[in-house]
């Protein structure tokens, strides 16, 4: 059988592309070697959010006195948390499978290998069957980076070094956890395991955590974490891993730290090898597949979406790229606008970043005004966050008077930021934003307040 589209990889990019393609009537095949739903659903976004929600309930229970509630015997039962996590994943994966079926997408569980092109058709093999398609979408995702630090491979094999995959399935809470890399995964996992009772230390190479997050917000987050007992070793480089823990270098001095478990979270790399991609002559850039803003590669009818292009390794970016890919195939004008994609760190408190930070805006020589307000301007924030020290910062282009950046730390920020993304996407002038009525009392009002401060 010949397909209109063969999709390699069933993560957010792959499965959503199939849903949209099937819905539009394209004869579509999805090939997935491991789990439908990919990393996001099975060992990333969804499992981690399920764990973090349990930690949040537990934290509220332990600190409930200040809200007038007494709970004497709050306990976090990690096994039950993991069982529930598995149930959540199963429910969502089942939902995707039935949606794909309803759109008549064919699904093959197996490893797809690209054989090449014959005539106008691409050929992809799974076990002993060869499938042909007019177009191919590469959505093979990414893998954790494992650095050449001595002891890493042995530690991974022995099980005391973990990636985002294994850490979500630990049977018990390690008494001590060293996290290498203070980025998104490191911070989210630190949040859960600290709440669950581990002694957590984050070792970060840079002099700050949370990567490109606004620097004021990153330092508020770090202070919040320190108050909870999480330790940080910044400007520090791990030089060796052994059965007892890690050795690291800080200001040319060597230190060691004991750890039951070590999480390796120093970033991810696109998966571009081992499945015959080279047979198509697809161009790579910085380790990922080079695509234009419509997800087209340099080879006609070969598309790439999601982490495999290495542009913005976020599930919601993958979703958008998938939709743009299908619209492009259908001949509809569409493109990904990367500058208005928000990113979220689902720590407690949550952190959101959208657009330029003060640092990146300055580097680009942009002329902008900035206003920062305390989240305590929001009545609801005060009512629900005893002792909360969140902020909301907005950056506004001086000439055009529209938003170029919005950054927040404080809960519900993850659910609010899309509103700011719409304002940015539509290039609304702040005078127009001032006329929008925000519901009161909501945490979102902090954005409105910040706009009035510019």
Binding mask 299-318 for ligand NAI (x = CB under 6 A): --------------xx----
Q: Among 25, 147, 159, 379, which residue sits at the site for ligand NAI (rule: CB under 6 A)? A: 147
Residues 3-22 vs ligand NAI: string with x where CB under 6 A?
--------------------
Q: What is the DSSP string of 91-157?
A: HHHHHHHHHHHHTT-EEEES-EEEEEEETTEEEEEETTEEEEES-EEE---EEE-----TTHHHHHH
Size of interface with ligand NAI, in residues (CB under 6 A): 27
Q: Which residues of 278-306 are buried (b: 16+ CB within 10 A; e: fewer)?
A: eebebebeeebbbbeebbbbeeebbbbbb
Comparing CB distances to ligand NAI, the nearer of 232 and 377 is: 232
Which residues make beta-bridge pairs with 97? Answer: none
Contact 1, 77 (CB under 8 A): no
Binding of ligand NAI at residue 345 (CB under 6 A)? yes
The closest alpha carbon to 108, from 85, 130, 88, 123, belongs to 130
- Smaller CB distance to ligand NAI: residue 131 or 193? 193
Residue spans of alpha helices (H) in 348-401: 358-363, 379-384
Nearest residue to ligand NAI, using CB? 183
**Helix 184-196 × helix 45-62 angle, to 10°:** 40
Tell me if residue 104 is catalytic.
Answer: no
CB 109, CB 116: distance < 8 Å: no
Give min distance, CB of 288 to ligand NAI, in A.
11
Question: CB neighbours (10 Å) of residue 405?
Answer: 24
Q: Minimum distance between the CB of residue 177 and ligand NAI, rounded to whole angstroms? A: 15
Cross-sheet strand order for the sheet of 261-264: 161-162, 261-264, 176-180, 199-203, 231-233
The yes or no reply on residue 184 touching ligand NAI (CB under 6 A) is yes
CB of 241 vs ligand NAI, minimal distance in Å: 11
Binding mask 23-62 for ligand NAI (x = CB under 6 A): ---------------------x------------------
Looking at 241-314, list the stretches that DSSP marks H as alpha helix, in order from N- to C-terminal side.
none
d(CA 234, CA 237): 9
Taking CB under 6 A as the rule, does residue 267 contact ligand NAI?
yes
Taking CB under 6 A as the criterion, the residue among 16, 180, 230, 336 binding ligand NAI is 180
Does position 266 interact with ligand NAI (CB under 6 A)? The reply is yes
Is residue 181 close enough to count as binding ligand NAI by CB under 6 A? Answer: yes
Nearer to ligand NAI, 28 or 233 (CB): 233
Residues 6+ positions from 55 with CB-CB distance below 8 Å:
76, 191, 192, 195, 196, 348
Tokens representing 378? Answer: 């929001």
Q: Is 234 helix (H, G, I), strand (E, B) or coil?
A: coil
Position 203 contacts ligand NAI (CB under 6 A): yes
C-beta of 318 vs 430, nearer to ligand NAI: 318
With CB under 6 A as the contact rule, the residue among 78, 85, 135, 268 that binds ligand NAI is: 268
> Contacting ligand NAI (CB under 6 A), which of 11, 133, 186, 349?
186
**Positions in the binding site for ligand NAI (CB under 6 A):** 44, 147, 180-186, 188, 203-206, 211, 237-238, 265-268, 313-314, 343-346
Residues with catalytic function? 440
């Amino acid at each position: 059988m010949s397909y209109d589209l063969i999709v390699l990889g069933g993560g957010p990019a792959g499965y959503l592309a199939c849903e949209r393609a099937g819905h539009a009537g394209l004869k579509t095949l999805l090939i997935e070697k491991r789990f439908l739903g990919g990393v996001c659903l099975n060992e990333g976004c969804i499992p981690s959010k399920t764990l973090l929600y349990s930690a949040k309930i537990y934290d509220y229970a332990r600190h409930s006195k200040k809200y007038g509630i007494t709970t004497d015997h709050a306990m976090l039962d990690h096994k039950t948390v993991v069982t529930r996590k598995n149930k959540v994943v199963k429910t969502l994966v089942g939902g995707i499978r039935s949606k794909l079926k309803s759109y008549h997408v064919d699904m093959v569980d197996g490893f797809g290998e690209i054989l090449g092109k014959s005539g106008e058709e691409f050929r992809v093999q799974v076990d002993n069957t060869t499938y042909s398609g007019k177009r191919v979408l590469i959505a093979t995702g990414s893998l954790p980076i494992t650095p050449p630090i001595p002891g890493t491979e042995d530690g991974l094999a022995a099980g005391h070094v973990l990636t985002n995959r294994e850490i979500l399935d630990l049977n018990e809470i390690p008494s001590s956890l060293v996290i290498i890399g203070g980025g998104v995964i490191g911070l989210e996992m630190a949040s859960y395991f600290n709440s669950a009772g581990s002694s957590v230390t984050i070792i970060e190479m840079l002099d700050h955590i949370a990567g490109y997050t606004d620097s004021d917000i990153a330092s508020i987050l770090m202070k919040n974490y320190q108050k909870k007992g999480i330790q940080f070793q910044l400007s520090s480089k791990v030089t060796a891993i052994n059965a007892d823990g890690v050795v690291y270098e800080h200001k040319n001095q060597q230190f060691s730290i004991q750890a039951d478990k070590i999480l390796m979270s120093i970033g991810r790399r696109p998966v571009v090898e081992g499945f015959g991609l080279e047979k198509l002559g697809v161009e790579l850039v910085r380790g990922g597949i080079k695509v234009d803003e419509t997800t087209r590669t340099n080879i006609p009818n070969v598309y790439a979406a999601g982490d495999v292009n290495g542009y913005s390794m976020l599930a919601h970016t993958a979703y958008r790229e998938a939709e743009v890919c299908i619209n492009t195939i259908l001949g509809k004008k569409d493109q990904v606008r990367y500058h208005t994609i928000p990113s979220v760190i689902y720590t407690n408190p949550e952190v959101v970043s959208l657009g330029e930070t003060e640092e990146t805006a300055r580097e680009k020589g942009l002329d902008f005004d900035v206003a920062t307000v305390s989240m305590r301007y929001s009545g609801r924030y005060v009512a629900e966050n005893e002792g909360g020290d969140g902020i909301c910062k907005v950056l506004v282009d001086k000439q055009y008077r529209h938003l170029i950046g919005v950054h927040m730390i404080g809960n519900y920020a993850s659910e609010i930021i899309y509103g700011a993304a719409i304002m940015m996407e539509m290039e609304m002038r702040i005078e127009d934003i001032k006329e929008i009525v925000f519901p009161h009392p909501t945490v979102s009002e902090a954005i409105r307040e910040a706009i009035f401060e510019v």
